[in-house]
Structure 1
Amino acid sequence: MDGALDLGRGANPKSYIIEEIWQKLSKAKYLEWDHDSTKRSWDLQSLKEACETALKEKHTRDISQIEGFLDEAANSCSARLDALGEVFRKAAEADVPTEVPDYLCCNITLDIFRDPVITPSGITYERAVILDHLEKVGKFDPVTRQPLRKSQLVPNLAIKEAVHAFLDKHGWAYGTD
């Protein structure tokens, strides 16, 4: 995805083509995640049902062989079913949308970073947004109010990698824009 964005950026980092590329790529990534998530959900549900059936069948066999400990066997089966439900709930958590961590979002737009840049004061912004601010509002950092020039902006590769790692693990976040 970075390659396409870098190619589209060309000489103008605020180019509309960047936004268009991002929208197309993020939609494709979201649809891919949605498809995979639905399949995982069906697979997990089928596996859960098979495990529950197996536990219940084992419980039925155990009851027919045990005399006098029916309450203990029922409690044991119930506890196992509860534990099984918890395991499958945790397995499904990766596909449940939550909030994107603040450190992965621009201070101005609150959207997840696409092309983060860091200022000398250590604040990270979305490149196109801070460039727009410098051009239209003034040559200063919007948070610290310190003088700021375009040449002082440096790509924040650590945040960029963190965003990619987050998106790889949480594909639902592609649909948050």
Structure 2
Amino acid sequence: MVDEIWQELAKAKYMLWEHASSKRSWELQSLKYVIPACETALREKHFLDDSQPEGFLDEAGISHMKQLEVLRQVFRKAGEADIPCEVPDYLCCKITLDIFCDPVITPSGVTYERAVILDHLQKVGKFDPITREPLDQSQLVPNLAIKEAVQAYLDKHGWAYKLD
């Protein structure tokens, strides 16, 4: 039942992210038309006049070239948060390769999704699937650090809520 609740919650969170992402995308697209105008204004304002030899810049010119690059980087970074990429391995179960919902750690230090490792212990045998060391359900401890890391990652990357 916990898994079903998690799936419904993940769907809802993904839909919220998708709506917010679409809105941000529209806003970013409308601002992209402003970039060339800003670049042109910065160039016109801060490039050297005809008295300086062509191709040479003073400190103010160099400073404003850096501002142009920072402007470009801001728009690039603004769009990056909404681009799905791979979830880091340390946030995923070693068996299912899915992002953790309820991570537990074994005495050997390996973290698994609780439901998956319990299923393994019941159906396959009472041993750690990676280290092959004996393992009992009572030895599993919630991995709160990974749970917090997953939540922080999901807060920043809402697309990761999407379940395949």
TM tier relative to shorter chain? 0.7 to 0.9
User: Is 1:100 aligned to residue 87 of structure 2?
Assistant: yes
Greater relative contact order (CA < 8 Å, ≥ 6 in sequence)? 2
Q: How large is the RMSD of aligned CA atoms in angstroms?
A: 2.7
2:127 partner amino acid: F
User: Is 1:145 aligned to residue 129 of structure 2?
Assistant: no
Identify the range of structure 1 (134-143 vs 86-95) with the bigger mean alpha-carbon deviation: 86-95
Structure 1 pair 33–130 and aligned structure 2 pair: CA distance change class (3 A): same
1:38-72 Cα distance to aligned partner (Å, 9 max, x none): 11122122223124224436657899x96998988
Distance in 1 separating the partners of 2:143 and 2:35 = 47
Structure with the higher helix share, 1 or 2 = 1
Shift of 1:121: 0.7
Give ranges in structure 2 of 5+ residues lacking alignment: 58-63
1:11 alignment partner in structure 2: none
Give ranges in structure 1 of 5+ residues lacking alignment: 1-16
Identity %: 63
Identify the range of structure 1 (147-156 vs 46-55) with the bigger mean alpha-carbon deviation: 46-55
- What TM-score results when the alignment is normalised by the length of structure 1? 0.75
Runs of 4+ in 1 over 4 A off after TM superposition: 57-63, 65-73, 77-83
Shift of 1:22: 1.3
Distance in 2 separating the partners of 1:70 and 1:49 = 29
User: Is 1:32 aligned to residue 13 of structure 2?
Assistant: no
1:175 partner amino acid: K
1:127 alignment partner in structure 2: 114
User: Is 1:50 aligned to residue 34 of structure 2?
Assistant: yes
Shift of 1:110: 0.5
